[in-house]
Amino acid sequence: MTILVTGAAGFIGFHVCQALLAQGRAVLGVDNLNDYYDPALKDARLQHLIHQPGFRFERLEIADTAAVAALVSPSSGITEIIHLAAQAGVRYSLQNPHAYIAANIQGQINLLEAARHLPGLKHFVYASSSSVYGHAEKSPFSVQDRTDTPLSLYAATKKADELFHYTYAHLYRVPATGLRFFTVYGPWGRPDMAAFLFTKAILAGEPIRLFNRGDMRRDFTFIDDIVAGVLAALDRPPQDAGVKPPHQIYNLGNNHPEKLTDFVALLEEALGRKAILDLQPMQPGDVYETAADITESRRDLGFEPVTPLAVGLPKFVRWYREFYGV
C-alpha cells in the first residue's frame, strides 16, 4: 500500500511527505525538479526525505504520458494519490502559457488515465487553487459559488482540472477530492511568493513591490494547517452512492483575510528592519481579495486552521535566516 505524492520536492509536497512518513506510511515521491525557481531549494527539501524509511523517489515529468503510465501501473501497489505537482504562478502564466498546458492539463490527464486502471484505488486527492474564483461577486469564497470567470491561464487550468476529475469520477468512478488552497506560506516556502520575496528584499535593503498600491487582501494560510487539511481529506474519500459521482471540492484557507500592508508590517517586526515600498498598479490576472469560506471543509474534514499570521510569519523568518545564514 503506497501513497503517490507528485510534486514531492515542492513546498506543499515536501511537507505532506514529511507528515505521511511521520505516520509510518509508504510514500512514492515524484518531481521533475525543474528550474521554475532555484532547483537547489528543491534538492535541499528532497535531501530531508530520501533517507527516511518508507520513502522512494522518482524523477519524472508528469506530462510524459509513457513515463506516467509505466510508473502508475496496475502492478505498482499505489492505493492513494496526492497530486500536488503543477506549474504554479499567476503572473508567470502570462509569460509561458505552454508550461501550464503541459503540466496542469496534459499532466493531469496522464495521471487520471493511469489512476483509472489502478486496482483498488482508494482516493485521488489533487491541488486546485483559490484562483479559480476569479471575478467572484462576494466574499468569502464558497465552494458553492460559480467559478467560470478565471482571470489567468493558471486559474483556467486549475478549473479545468476540477472538471476533468468530475468527469472521471462520473465515467470511471475514480474517487477524488479537489483542494482549493489559499495563499500558502511557511518554512521551505516558494521563492516566488510574498513571504519569500519580501523577506529577501527587506534583508537586502531593496524595495518590495506592492501591487494595487498595497491595497490587497489575502487569506494567508500556514503550511502546517494546509498539511492537516490534506491528510484529513486523504482519509475521507467521497462515497460512491451510484448516482452522484464520488468527487468533492473543499476550500483550505485561514478563513481570515489580511491586508497586504499588515503582512508587511509583521514581516518588518520579525526581521527588525523597515521595508522600502514600491507601490505598483494592479497587475493583469490578480484579484483584490481572497477569502475562504471553510464551512464544508470544517464540517466534513474537521479542518480548523490554528496558526495566525503573527505566529506563522516569525516561523518563516526563523527558517529563512537559518537556511540562508542571514
Catalytic residues: 154
Q: Is 89 strand, coil or helix? A: coil
Domain ranges of the chain: 2-185+220-255+293-302
HSE (side-chain half, CA atoms, 13 Å) at 164: 23
CB 284 within 8 A of CB 94: yes
CB 211 within 8 A of CB 286: yes
Amino acid 72: pLDDT: 97
- Name the grid cell of 255: 478563513
For residue 106, what is the DSSP state?
I
- Name the grid cell of 129: 487553487
Amino acid 212: pLDDT: 83
pLDDT in tens, the chain (326 residues): 899 999 999 999 999 999 999 999 999 999 999 999 999 999 999 999 999 999 999 999 999 999 999 999 999 999 999 999 999 888 888 899 999 999 999 999 999 999 999 998 999 999 999 999 987 778 899 999 999 999 899 999 999 999 999 999 999 999 999 999 999 999 999 999 999 999 999 999 999 988 888 888 899 999 999 999 999 999 999 999 878 999 999 999 998 889 999 999 999 999 999 999 988 888 776 777 788 999 999 999 999 999 999 999 999 999 999 999 99
Amino acid 231: pLDDT: 98
CB 30 within 8 A of CB 8: yes
2-185+220-255+293-302: CATH topology = Rossmann fold (3.40.50)
Amino acid 215: pLDDT: 83
Amino acid 285: pLDDT: 66
HSE (side-chain half, CA atoms, 13 Å) at 197: 10
- Name the grid cell of 230: 490534506
pTM of the prediction?
0.95
How far apart are alpha carbons 39 and 69 in whole angstroms? 26
Amino acid 78: pLDDT: 97
How far apart are alpha carbons 296 and 291 in whole angstroms? 14
How far apart are alpha carbons 10 and 46 in whole angstroms? 9
What radius of gyration, in Å, describes the C-alpha atoms of the chain? 19
Where does the chain show beta strands of DSSP type E? 2-6, 26-31, 55-59, 78-83, 123-129, 176-181, 184-185, 207-210, 217-218, 221-222, 247-252, 258-259, 276-279
Go through 72-98 and write b for each residue having 16 or more CB atoms within 10 A of its CB, e for each that does not. Answer: beeeeebbbbbbbbbbbbbebbeeebe
